[in-house]
Amino acid sequence: MVKGARYRDPRTADRPNATLARLPADGIVVFAVVYQAARSAAGGIELRLDRARRYPCCDGTYVPGGEYALAGGGPGSPYSVRVNFGRPPTRSMLAQAQRALDRLELPSPR
């Protein structure tokens, strides 16, 4: 989900760097990745932005608002969800991102 910007990366890009590099101040990117890895005992992801961990963003791409990351999964289907903001998020931006998370359908852990 992208708000306030055009998505500029291939659908399979793992980090939408072209989009993030041009993210305007009011832009929001909610990005989900499902990947294969060693079996995981992690529980399902709880899509609550207030529980996300904040990191500087992203593989050399500067995004002023940083990155908020949530991760979870189950045996055979770990995944992560990242939310990026074009500036430190306002309450309105956080609410918009949370609404996008509320609509996101992730695969159930196996």
**pLDDT tens for residues 4-48?**
889 999 988 878 888 988 889 999 998 887 766 555 555 556 677
The residue segments making up the domain with residue 34 are 2-7+29-103
- Measured CA to CA, the distance from residue 59 to residue 80 in angstroms comes to 16
* Cut 0.85: pTM above it: no
CA distances from 58 to 34, 46, 89, 95, 110 (A): 18, 22, 17, 22, 29
Residue 19 lies in a domain: no
Question: Is-contact 83 52, C-beta < 8 A?
Answer: yes
| Cis preceding linkage at 58, omega within 30 | yes
The pLDDT, as a whole number, for residue 45 is: 65
pLDDT of the residue at 33: 76
46-to-6, 52, 87 alpha-carbon distances in Å: 27, 9, 24
Q: Tell me what pLDDT residue 92 has.
A: 92
In a domain, 97, yes or no: yes
Query: Is 48 a domain residue?
Result: yes
- Asked, for residue 109, whether it belongs to a domain, the answer is no
Please check whether residue 74 lies inside any domain of the structure: yes
How many domains does the chain divide into? 1
Q: Is residue 68 part of a domain?
A: yes
Kindly report the three-state secondary structure assignment for every residue of 34-84: ECCCCCCCCCCCCCCHHHCEEECCCCCCCCCCCEEEEEECCCCCCEEEEEE
Give 65-95 pLDDT, tens digit per residue: 878 777 665 555 677 788 888 888 889 988 8
Contact 97, 49 (CB under 8 A): yes
pLDDT of 110 over the 70 cut:
no
Any domain includes 49: yes
